[in-house]
Amino acid sequence: MAPKRSRPEEKTLLQVDPQGMFRGMVVFLIERGVQPRRLQIWKQKLIQMGAVIEDKFRMTVTHVFGMNLEYILQELDIKKLKRFKGYNILPYEWLENSLKSGEKIPEDSYALKVPLEGENDSDKPAASAHSEMFNSNHLRDDSKNRSIKSSMEDVKLMCRVKKDTEKTGDLGYNLGRPEPKDNELSLLYNPPDLNRKVTEIFGKLINIYRALGDERRSFSYYKAIPVIEKLPFTIESVEQVKHLPAIGKSMKEHIQEIVTTGKLSKLEHFEHDEKVRTLTLFGEIWGIGPATALKLYEKGHRSLNDLKNEESLSHAQRLGLQYFDDIKKKIPREKAKEMESLLQKVGGAILPGVIIVCGGSYRRGKAFCGDLDMIITHPDGQSHKGFLAKYVKYLKDIKFLREDLVFSTHSEEGTDSGVDTYFGLCTEPDLDQRHRIDLKVYPRDIYAFGLIAWTGNDVLNRRLRLLAESKGYRLDDTGLFVATQGSHGKRGAKSSASVHCHSEREVFDVLGFPGWTTSEEF
């Protein structure tokens, strides 16, 4: 049966603003290297916000978009490009960042340059600083005898490049990476949050309910936020969201109150309650959960200063307290990319071929990250053993890693599925600002499960675990296991052997998870 075609009248559902931020732009899109779903969303957003999309490269075109200059030159004849004047060639990163910020950002620092006459076109194309850094960060170093010390001098220099050369135009994390199939979860789109007031209030309620140990209520707000974030309109009435998933009766009432009054009485009540306020504050310290926060409150502590002489705090909790303000500060995406590149280069110098991916909110395409979640493996399935100890030592020697929170190695002993773990605090080169960083080294045969667990947010991960249970499995970051029969209606233990899945795609296929290539689950 032929695929069902969309009816012509469906096009009229696309609300177009002729005065939108992309008005006056006539766009030609290079499709090479772009996930179809992602390209479709970009096209819709361009049209909605006033742009015109051409199906061919014509004289009327004002902007050409592509993943990078190499792909653009593969699709468009370089002589033709040189003949046309008055247009800009931009990476899709410019478009995505403009959508995230809600306004057109300057094009100059993103613009990709066509090689000038007299340059050797067979060499690396001349491009913007973004493309230059992309090539230097991701292409394999051909010098096999280059020392780690020499490699690190390049890394330190790269990390001091001025802000206007930070972005690389690398939107899809499969570009320049081994085994792109393992990175398909990252092909996401994150539109601007037009209902920030609602999502900010819900975010505060998440933290409050977590501090109170009420995970059920906390999770309900967690589910609602991504649904609201992706709305292409500003909510003016609860009628606009009454049919949305994850928006129940009480959630609708909250939204109605917020859009009507600009505030939520429930949140104000919590914020004026001393116990709730204190538990929420203590719960934001790394290593302190709801139970510990309650014990500290019951001891009479009410502020961070009160905890400085608390003898019951562990070493890790004291570090969380000491660097509380640093850890709370978000990491801009550009800085996270810079640190990821450093970590990849150091890792490659220590162990050639090692795969190091920054997961979490960075891999989900967010503009800011709470911390760095690095997921690591080696394709041969053996060389990852013992890597983490050498890696951590070298990163400490160059003063990238500063304080340890958790450090456990299992790969050489074969315990705990052979996963090595390091949690700690790191800094950018020549700076004292601390950031949280997690390093997880997985054997190659369970790497896909680690990628899913450390990329997806709580909503996706919980949904996947529930789906796995409904099909008789137990899912975690080390595998998908057949569940044994439990007694009295309780879950049984997981079997010793995991279902073999080489990639994230295969995990989703086994579970029958619908729509896994879209961003709705993140």
pTM of the model: 0.60
Q: Could you tell me where in the chain the CATH 3.30.460.10 domains are found?
A: 331-444
Distance CA 292, CA 450 (A): 28
Please report the pLDDT score of residue 198 as a whole number.
94
Query: In this model, does residue 515 exceed pLDDT 60?
Result: no
Q: Where in the chain is the domain with CATH 3.30.210.10?
A: 458-511
Q: What pLDDT shows up at residue 490?
A: 55
Q: Which residues pair with 29 in a beta bridge?
A: 65
- Pair 127, 113: CB distance under 8 Å: yes
Query: How high does pLDDT run on average in the chain?
Result: 79
Flag whether pLDDT at 444 surpasses 90: yes
DSSP 125: P
**Active-site choice (63, 130, 138, 254):** 254
Say how many C-beta atoms besides its own lie within 10 A of residue 13's C-beta: 6
The pLDDT, as a whole number, for residue 518 is: 34
| 378 in active site | no
pLDDT in tens, 312-324: 999 999 999 999 9
Most confident of 136-150, 199-213, 454-468: 199-213
Higher pLDDT, 423 or 43: 423
Cα-to-chain-centroid distance, residue 164 = 22
Structure tokens belonging to residue 325: 């303000």
* Domain(s) of CATH 1.10.150.110: residues in the chain: 195-327
* Topology (CATH) of 458-511: Beta Polymerase; domain 3 (3.30.210)
End-to-end CA distance of the chain: 33
Predicted pLDDT of residue 18: 75
Angle at 507 between CA 506 and CA 509, to 5 degrees: 60
Taking residues 189-207, report their average pLDDT: 80
Residue 199 reports pLDDT greater than 60:
yes
Write the single-letter amino acid at 154: D
Lowest-pLDDT range, 133-137, 417-421, 497-501?
Answer: 133-137
For residue 424, which of 388, 452, 377, 458 has the smallest C-alpha distance?
388
Fold for the domain defined by 195-327 = DNA polymerase; domain 1 (1.10.150)
* Whole-number Å distance between alpha carbons of 273 and 280: 11
> What is 331-444's CATH number?
3.30.460.10
Write out pLDDT tens, residues 47-102.
888 899 998 888 788 899 998 888 888 888 777 676 666 678 899 988 888 887 67
| pLDDT tens profile 325-351 | 999 999 999 999 999 999 999 999 999
pLDDT in tens, 145-182: 344 444 444 444 333 333 333 332 222 223 223 333 33
Query: Which part of the chain is CATH 3.40.50?
Result: 26-101
CATH number of 26-101: 3.40.50
- pLDDT score at 259: 93
